[in-house]
Structure 1
């Protein structure tokens, strides 16, 4: 991750810096990939900074009101949304990040929990030429290793998918994607990969109890995995019809 220090002076137009890219990508992931509102408190938690820092940074990202800003903040709901300029930057970084993860996992053999952090370090240095070469070398992949669509690849989020915690016990499912929110938890990524709870693998939901705050699933090999409800909410699956 980048060092989230202030990189603008008050009154300056917002420039595209690594910190700006990280903020915009996080807002994009929250609102588009996760379908949740981006508010300062959640953004602070995601970025690992204080709410005051987020407030100050978002204020700068709004620009000077001349159409040069990256975000818009709703005065009533306080929800943060991307302008077209902000979305363009966010999509560019998300593409570089997910392509880099594919390289690290598929070619270099890194584990999930390592690939995300390493991709965060490398993504800001990838030029358009290198991105083009990387795409060709990898065969124009559609998703990152965790199943999230790579912007520009033509892949879309499957609207039929549901968070695992919404699936009833007794259902058969196929794992579609591990949300970006979960990628910020290296221990969780390691746990999911260890139990082969990865995109494309089928599982049977053995138990789902919101009262016990756990979801238990079993794969075709008889391996059982137990996840907390909050964690299951970050994993998107598709019910399998018989």
Structure 2
């Protein structure tokens, strides 16, 4: 069976499970494959999944493989959307192709280049890789924390990874959202940024959760 059909199904099973959904009938409905039952039967025959009482679960080997596929897709999304600034449809179509061809080495290079983003542009977690655990990076990250920028820097917000979800709502009220352009005016005693005509003071803890790139 074609590699892409197998990988697309493993990715679907992983993403559905993220929201606590593992029903077989739902998997079949959500699949874009012309014959999802055929793919599921092949996966079960190879010991990659188990189907019991109308629910589908990933075997350990498939778990690792699905994790890598999702990681490649979400890193590709981040690169295409936040760095190359492509349109949503093109991002989705291209990321779907990238997830099947990126080698482990290229995947780690992209992750390092982006600064090891914790989430994709849609706020979904990007599975961590070996490069995320290393203290030293092989490339200078294109994306950095706001706290690492120099005073006077003009930057674009790439993504925000708050510890508390309420932080997103609070920042959004000030216009601090992905895609916004801001200028860093000071770093002590608090971080002061300007977005358009609005000046906002941020605690260092919150500033560390904002990831930016130079414009």
TM-score tier after normalising by the smaller chain length: 0.5 to 0.7
Deviations 1:88-140 (A, max 9, x none): 11100000000101110121111333312210012111001111111111111
How many positions carry a matched residue from both structures?
A: 144
Is 2:44 the counterpart of 1:62? Answer: yes
Alpha carbons of structure 1 residues 72 and 158: separation in structure 2 relative to 1, 3 Å? farther
- Relative to the length of structure 2, the TM-score reads 0.58
* Cross-structure match for 1:131: 107
Indicate conservation of the 8 Å contact 2:12/2:27, yes or no.
Answer: yes
The alpha carbon displacement at 1:160 in A equals: 8.0
Q: State the alpha-carbon separation in 2 of the partners of residues 159 and 83 from structure 1.
A: 31
Q: State the alpha-carbon separation in 2 of the partners of residues 132 and 122 from structure 1.
A: 14
* Cross-structure match for 2:59: 83
Give 3-state SS (helix, strand or coil) of 1:62's partner.
Answer: helix
* Cross-structure match for 1:240: none
Q: State the alpha-carbon separation in 1 of the partners of residues 113 and 19 from structure 2.
A: 29
The alpha carbon displacement at 1:173 in A equals: 8.4
- Relative to the length of structure 1, the TM-score reads 0.52
Alpha carbons of structure 1 residues 106 and 158: separation in structure 2 relative to 1, 3 Å? closer
Return the match for 2:9 from 23, 30, 37: 23
Indicate conservation of the 8 Å contact 1:142/1:149, yes or no.
Answer: yes
Indicate conservation of the 8 Å contact 2:111/2:117, yes or no.
Answer: yes
Q: Please give the root-mean-square deviation of Cα atoms over the aligned residues, in Å.
A: 3.0
* Cross-structure match for 2:192: none
Q: State the alpha-carbon separation in 1 of the partners of residues 124 and 4 from structure 2.
A: 22
Return the match for 2:26 from 37, 42, 50: 42
Give 3-state SS (helix, strand or coil) of 1:56's partner.
Answer: helix
